[in-house]
Each structure stands twice: as structure tokens, then as C-alpha cells.
Amino acid sequence: MEIVLTLTFSIVMLFFMIFPAMKITEWLDARYGIPDRYYKPVMLAIVVLLSLCIGLFLRYA
């Protein structure tokens, strides 16, 4: 049941984490030069990671 609640909070946070993930990806691209092929997958991975972190924070804090 705890996993379901955490994922529920995380799914809601997906929409709010898009902008910070875009900014982080732009910073990574400027600093390390991400190839165009990996730009979107990196951004999506960051969106999911940020959403899970916020979902865990909302569940356990």
C-alpha cells in the first residue's frame, strides 16, 4: 500500500517537474555537451527521478 501511495504522489508531480528537468538538462548540455540523441531521454529520466523524490518526500515527511 505504501508503494501505491508513493507512486500516486509521484504521478501527480510529473507535470510540475517538467520545467526544473528542462533547466537541469539545459545546464548539463551547456556544461558537458549532451548529444542530441540523448537529450530527451536524459530529460525524461530527470523528470521521473525528481517526481519520485518529491513523491517520497510527500509520503514520508
Looking at per-residue pLDDT, the higher value among 51 and 9 belongs to 51
Residue 38 Cα distances to 24, 28, 41, 42, angstroms: 14, 12, 5, 6
Average pLDDT, the chain: 91
Name the band, by pLDDT with cuts 50, 70 and 90, for residue 32. Answer: very high
First CA to last CA across the chain, in angstroms?
A: 17
